[in-house]
């Protein structure tokens, strides 16, 4: 008889340092799972998995479900219970991973390597909170409200724009370049590995405070009458989305919901323009049009030149990096002598 291996003790969410954007995005998605989840881009070893597993602990009784890369569509959405069918009983639905993740966190590592069919079903359920199955003679629907967390390394490929847009928030992590910050994180991890329970006990009060704040914010968001959107908030959201050149209106809706979730998390009396500005980058990062992204980045000045001396360019200018043609002098070269003389040969005397 085999016994299941014990699950590793999760690192406390309160002790995660050095990734403020990641922490905020995960907390907002936990406050309002209808945002559509969080996509985390970044290199290996930047606490992506650690943060996702730690988030589940802040939700009381929440499961943490991992979707493996080799999973089938049936194992994700559910399928016919073959045992019941072969025994001659009525058709019965066998729940999949979406049902197991209800009320918790569904984590997908390297989501960009999943087949598109699985990603479509995954994002549909994350956005709607309902899993609908119409296959194998079964018509079934069940609640599937969970916090979706997907990670990917852009060096190994990306997602189609249509799938990227379905994620509510996106965070792009970088390798830490501050020596002191790196040392603090490494020391914390070594202390946790040496004594997991003692480390968790040292952060128990902070964890309890985060869990209480999350429960309070989730209750506030579920109240439709609380934290309504004012005209100033709508104007700020519209201006940011237009400047980013996004397609459709999903970005506007997600930004409004994210600003409301942030206001609820902070216990604010109302949603302000500041809330919108603080969630805008996570909403627009993976939706911004390439032309708008290029316009937002200032061109690199040429060495030895003052950028203020550059002439102003109009909207109709062409390639800004092209240089005007310069005249090149013609250098005189030595003429070539033909190999065969063109003069008629003189006949020899007899």
Cβ within 8 Å of residue 249, ≥6 positions away: none
Extended strands (E) in 1-42:
38-41
Instruction: Exactly one of 189, 218, 250, 278 is catalytic; name it.
Output: 250
List C-alpha distances in Å: 348 to 2, 343, 345. Answer: 113, 15, 9
Of the candidates 27, 7, 8, the one whose C-alpha atom is nearest the C-alpha of residue 16 is 27
DSSP SS3 for 221:
helix
Helices then strands, each counted (H, E), the chain: 14, 9
182 is catalytic: no
In contact, 185 and 308? CB cutoff 8 Å: no
Q: How far apart are CA 131 and CA 175, in angstroms?
A: 37
In contact, 149 and 52? CB cutoff 8 Å: yes
HSE on the CB side for 292, CA within 13 Å? Answer: 14
In contact, 51 and 97? CB cutoff 8 Å: no
Q: Point out the residues that are catalytic.
A: 250
């Amino acid at each position: 008889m085999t016994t299941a291996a014990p699950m590793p003790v999760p690192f406390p969410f309160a002790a995660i340092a050095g990734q403020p954007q990641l922490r905020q995005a995960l907390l907002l998605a936990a406050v309002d799972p209808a945002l559509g989840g969080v996509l985390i881009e970044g290199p290996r070893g930047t606490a992506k998995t650690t943060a996702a597993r730690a988030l589940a602990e802040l939700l009381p009784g929440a499961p943490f479900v991992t979707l493996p890369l080799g999973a089938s569509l049936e194992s994700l959405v559910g399928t016919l219970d073959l045992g019941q069918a072969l025994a001659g009983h009525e058709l019965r639905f066998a729940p999949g991973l979406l049902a197991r993740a209800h009320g918790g966190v569904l984590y997908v590592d390297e989501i960009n390597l999943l087949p598109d069919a699985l990603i479509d079903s995954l994002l549909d359920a994350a956005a709607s909170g309902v899993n609908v199955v119409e296959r194998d003679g079964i018509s079934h629907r069940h609640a599937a409200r969970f916090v979706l967390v997907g990670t990917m390394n852009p060096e190994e490929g990306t997602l189609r724009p249509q799938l990227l847009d379905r994620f509510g928030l996106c965070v792009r992590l970088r390798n830490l370049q501050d020596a002191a910050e790196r040392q603090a994180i490494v020391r914390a991890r070594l202390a946790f590995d040496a004594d997991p329970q003692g480390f968790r006990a040292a952060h128990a009060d902070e964890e309890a405070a985060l869990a209480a704040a999350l429960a309070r914010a989730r209750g506030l968001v579920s109240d439709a009458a609380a934290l309504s959107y004012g005209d100033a908030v709508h104007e700020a959201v519209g201006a940011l989305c237009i400047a980013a050149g996004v397609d459709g209106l999903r970005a506007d809706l997600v930004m409004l919901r994210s600003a409301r979730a942030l206001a609820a998390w902070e216990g604010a009396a109302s949603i302000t323009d500041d809330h919108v500005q603080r969630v805008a980058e996570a909403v627009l990062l993976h939706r911004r049009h390439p032309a708008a992204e290029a316009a937002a980045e200032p061109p690199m000045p040429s060495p030895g030149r003052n950028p203020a001396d550059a002439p102003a360019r109009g909207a109709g200018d062409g390639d800004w990096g092209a240089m005007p043609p310069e005249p090149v002098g013609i250098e005189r070269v030595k003429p070539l002598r033909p190999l065969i003389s063109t003069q008629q040969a003189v006949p020899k005397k007899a």
